Amino acid sequence: MNLGLLVFYFFAALAVVGGLMMVTRKNAVHSAVYLVLTFIAIAAIYVLLGAEFLFAVQVLVYAGGIMVLFLFVIMLVNLEEPRRYSGGKLHLGLSTGLTLILFGMLAAVFVKDAPPAAPVAASGGEGNLQLVGALLYRNYLIPFEVVSLLLLVAMIGAIVLGRPRA
């Protein structure tokens, strides 16, 4: 077993543990911190997969921006939670069971139709950042602008919704 695979298993385990703790913790701030752990582990996996640009975006946008927003809101709304889980034992069991069924079906499809383990081609002098940037601004310029418009609309919407009622 080579080193890269071991590093991948380490970060995959970290991501899964972070996700599990995020869902099960009682305190919402603890959940947010465990989610940061998951995001950092996923960012490390991006590096292993040779996606340096996504690594940078993941760390900056998710671990930096979105989680700060979450923490702000958690501290803004007070969180006394008499019961953590919704519904009774039946609801809990049904939810977990249905998720496991979905997991099994998708796992069967995924393992059957996995892409071939193609060798990673060496990039010809240019790094991942240059290649992604060129593709983003040449072939995907219109979607890029549409996404910027989406962000503007989301920003205006958030301001309108968060404004105190006159």
Residue in the structure block whose two tokens are 């099994």: 104
Shortest approach of other proteins to residue 77 CB, angstroms? Answer: 4
C-alpha 67/C-alpha 33 separation (Å) is 8
Instruction: Fill in the DSSP letter of residue 116.
Output: P
Could you tell me how many residues of this chain bind other proteins (CB under 8 A)? 88
Tell me whether residue 3 or residue 125 sits nearer to other proteins (CB atom).
3
Where in 65-94 is the site for other proteins (CB under 8 A)? 65-66, 69-70, 73-74, 76-77, 79, 81, 83-87, 91-92
Amino acid at 165: R
Instruction: Fill in the DSSP letter of residue 139.
Output: T
Where in 89-128 is the site for other proteins (CB under 8 A)? 91-92, 95-96, 98-100, 102-103, 106-107, 110-111, 114-121, 128
For residues 26 and 9, the answer to whether their CB atoms sit within 8 Å is no
Binding-site string for other proteins from residue 28 to residue 57, where x marks contact by CB under 8 A and - marks none: x--xx--x--xx--x--xx-xxxx-xx--x
Binding residue for other proteins, selected from 1, 90, 142, 161, defined by CB under 8 A: 161
Q: At CA 50, angle to CA 46 and CA 52, rounded to 5?
A: 70
